[in-house]
Amino acid sequence: MASLNFWRAEDLIYQEIGRRVKSTRRRRGLTQTEFGIKINLSRSSIANIESGIQKVTIHSLYQIGYVLKVSIYDLLPENKH
């Protein structure tokens, strides 16, 4: 059962990252298409990242942070112990 909880937690992490990316992108006034062009991803990839369907790689997370002018730590959920 512990492994099921781990995978569910992983899904929640990616969903939260997606929410943060979407919120920040919107605050910067970028459409998904404009944002995708800046980080070399398709609009559908951006939509999938923002919905938590597509797992964002660490190097993509750095690109996202750079383009949105935020630290990657602003995009990651807090690690609570």
Taking only the tens place, the pLDDT of each residue in 30-60 is 999 999 999 999 999 999 999 999 999 999 9
What DSSP assignment string belongs to 28-51?
TT--HHHHHHHHT--HHHHHHHHT
Give kind and range of the element (H or E) at residue 76.
none
CATH topology of domain 2-74: 434 Repressor (Amino-terminal Domain) (1.10.260)
What tokens were used for 18?
């997606």
Task: Evaluate if residue 6 carries a pLDDT over 60.
Answer: no
The residue whose two tokens read 């609570």 is 80
When pLDDT is averaged across residues 5-11 and rounded to a whole number, the result is: 75
How far lies 37's CA from each of 15, 18, 30, 42, in Å?
Answer: 22, 18, 10, 7
- The pLDDT assigned to 1 comes to 45
Given pLDDT bands bounded at 50, 70 and 90, which one contains residue 4? Answer: low
